Amino acid sequence: MRTYRVAYPLTWRAMDVLEAFVAFVWPPSFRAAVPYLFLLPALILVGLLVLGLIQIADTSMRVLDRDTFLLSDAYSLDNYRRALTEPFFATIAGRSIIGSLIVTVITLVFAFPYAYLMVRTSSSALRKFLLVALFLPFFIGQVVRAYGWLIILGNQGIVNDILGHAGIPTLRLLYNYPAVLFGLVQYMLPFAVLMLAPALTAIPEELEAAAGSLGASWLKTFRHVVLPLARPGLVGAGLVVMTLSLTDFAIPAMLGGGSQDFIANAIYDQFFRTSDQGLGATLSLLLVAVGSLLVGVVFTAFGAGTLAMGGRRK
């Protein structure tokens, strides 16, 4: 008996206690509920967002009293009327929407060849280089990247220094609409390429070879074979880029210098400058509605792409 006790290691005994404890708090008859138990913490955590949306909805229906700077207790739709009728917000919404459309088109034009080369190249070193060039900025974060652009494009920036040496007077390259759009394009490139790449991988290279051997030029092959087959990826990437740039804050704030605000900047100003939380909440809710609608369309039409969770096996 004594030798048996020695041979039975401590870890085993600890495991036995653990098993007994688990069997006690979660009897085997509850086994069917195990996956729900596993999901519960994640559901609760994401529930914070739902709670947040409810708070936003509640705040959005309270009007700011200009005398006391408190929100009203009574509900009203006045904030929505203001958000939808005041020309100031229409200007900002128009700038954001037109901007995100332009950004989407330009981003796709650059992302498509990038993804194509990355998927089709036979050199694994080149593929790795392209992937690293893509992931590095993605992981560096928006603020540092925007800071880099400030150094390059600022009035005392690199470009103007070079132009100065060539005798060209200082150009105002920052704090205008094109600067914001440019910043957004380079911010969105990694997202677009990563959404496009799986779609391009799915197109067999033989199809292009076949088109070529039947006499189609590469442009024709591109137009009539590759582009149509890549359409799901293009639409998916396009919608993601559009939503992200429509709702972006940092790039318009840093490269627009306050004169090129997008919707997110207007929301921030309502909360932290004007202190009209009600109107800010209203704008947030409207933006969430538009943004979620766009992404919802992507997910229902094309699936979540590489981000699909579960789904494949079982």
Partner 1 sequence: MSGSRSKSVVIWAFVLAAIAMLSAPTIVVLGASFTAGNMIEFPPQGFSLKWYSAILSATDLRDAFFRSVYVAALNTIIAIPIGTLAGIALAKYKVRLENTIQVYLLLPFTIPLIGSGIGLMLVFGNAGALGQLWPVAIACCVINLPFMIWAVTASASNLSNDLELAAANCGAPPVQTFLYITLPAVLPGVITGSLLMFILGLNEFLVSLLLVDARSVTLPVQIYNSIRSIITPDLAAISVVFIVCAGVAVTLLDRLVGLDIFLKSK
Sole window of 38-46, 66-74, 76-84, 88-96 interacting with partner 1 (rule: CB under 8 A): 38-46
Q: Indicate the residue among 2 and 132 with the shorter CB distance to partner 1.
A: 132
Cβ atoms 202, 305 nearer than 8 A:
no
Sole window of 15-23, 61-69, 76-84, 93-101 interacting with partner 1 (rule: CB under 8 A): 15-23
* Residues of this chain, 85-104, that bind partner 1 according to CB under 8 A: none
Task: Tell which residue, 95, 297, 266, has the closest CA to residue 184.
Answer: 95
Q: Indicate the residue among 91 and 201 with the shorter CB distance to partner 1.
A: 201
* Residues of this chain, 104-163, that bind partner 1 according to CB under 8 A: 109-114, 116-122, 127-128, 130-152, 154, 156-158, 161-162
Sole window of 65-73, 77-85, 96-104, 260-268 interacting with partner 1 (rule: CB under 8 A): 260-268
Q: Indicate the residue among 140 and 227 with the shorter CB distance to partner 1.
A: 140
Look at the alpha carbons of 37, 39, 44, 47 in this order and tell me if their dihedral is positive or negative: negative
Distance of CA 179 to the CA centre of its chain: 20
HSE-up (13 A, CA, CB side) for residue 62:
18
215 binds partner 1 (CB under 8 A): no
273 binds partner 1 (CB under 8 A): no
Look at the alpha carbons of 197, 199, 204, 205 in this order and tell me if their dihedral is positive or negative: negative
260 binds partner 1 (CB under 8 A): no
- Encode burial over 213-250: b for 16+ CB neighbours within 10 A, e otherwise: eeebeeeebbeebbeebbebbbbbbbbbbbbbbbbbeb
80 binds partner 1 (CB under 8 A): no
256 binds partner 1 (CB under 8 A): no
Size of the site for partner 1 (CB under 8 A): 123
Proportion of the chain in helix, strand, coil states, percent, rounded to 5 = 75, 0, 20
